[in-house]
Amino acid sequence: MTGMRACITAVLVCSAASSVGIAGAVGVATVTSVREPASYLPQGWWEGAAVLVARALGPGSGGALTVDSIVAPAAGECVPEVGFSPEGSGLALVLKTIASARQTIRMSAYAFTSREIARALVDAKRRGVDVQVVVDARQNVAGSGRGASAAALNLLARAQIPVRTIDTYAVHHDKTVTVDSKTVETGSFNFSAAAARKNSEDVLVLWNCPAVAQMYVAHWENRWAQGVAYRVDGGQSS
């Protein structure tokens, strides 16, 4: 396998151009080069992470795996931030992410009932941000919470924010916000009042991670293409 570099942040693995060689048949992983991490990670973190990545890529390869280069992000790049519910930092971080947008917001949602988040998206639209949202059809149009969903989604539709619903899958369970094609918010947190105030939830934001964000945008575009336009009356167009 050639043309791949393992590129790790504190919480994820992505692939980019470099080289990985596979040989032999004993399943041994080695790391030949590790560059020192940004200052917010502990000493030795990357060495340990490199071994874990090599092991993760190894099964099914049919041989030994050598990761030639594992490159840490430069200081100030690809910085993770976390929040939790019901402590309040989860919702605050989602709102912070939306407020940071200057060009685009691409949201994927399962349950969408939070008027606070809806108003934040409307505010972004009013300051010139291109906002688009795709949500699970069954949960928001036909589910038990459709009344609350309609109230939140109608705020978006009346602000001329394009919204689509998707019923292609058993559940459209994505819960992400991608901002300016460089920052990603994800985690267990639904965009709902229950997630903010009742449930135990987590929120993760990867600031300034364009390589990761572009993969999320591609995934979002695929789901958007499968959706249908949401109507203000709480339904979906045919």
Domain boundaries, the chain: 5-67, 79-229
DSSP state of 142: I
Taking CA 120 as the corner, what is the angle to CA 110 and CA 127, rounded to the nearest 5 degrees?
Answer: 130
Q: Which residue has the tokens 């941000």?
A: 129
pLDDT of 197 strictly over 70: yes
Lowest mean pLDDT among 34-38, 129-133, 151-155: 34-38
Mean pLDDT for 168-179 is: 96
pLDDT of 218 strictly over 70: yes
**Alpha helices (runs of H) in 127-171, residue ranges in sequence order:** 137, 146-158
pLDDT of 220 strictly over 80: yes
Alpha carbon distances (Å) from 159 to 96, 128, 150, 153, 225:
20, 12, 14, 10, 21
Instruction: Tell the CATH topology of 79-229.
Output: Endonuclease; Chain A (3.30.870)
Residue 51 pLDDT grade (very low, low, confident, very high; cuts 50, 70, 90): very low
Residues forming a β-bridge with 228: 165
Residues of the chain above pLDDT 70, percent: 64
- Map residue 20 onto helix, strand or coil: strand
Residue 235 pLDDT grade (very low, low, confident, very high; cuts 50, 70, 90): low
Mean pLDDT for 41-53 is: 44
Residue type, 177: V
Residue 160 to residue 84: CA distance in whole angstroms? 31
pLDDT of 163 strictly over 70: yes
Closest among 97, 72, 71, 58 to 5, alpha carbons compared: 71
Compute the 3-state secondary structure of the chain and give helix, strand, coil in percent, each to the nearest 5. 30, 30, 40
Residue 141 pLDDT grade (very low, low, confident, very high; cuts 50, 70, 90): confident
Containing 60, the helix (H) or strand (E) segment is none
pTM: 0.67
Residue type, 59: P
Residue 107 to residue 68: CA distance in whole angstroms? 36
Kindly give, in sequence order, each residue whose CB lies less than 8 Å from that of residue 88, ignoring residues fewer than 6 positions away. 196
pLDDT of 209 strictly over 90: yes
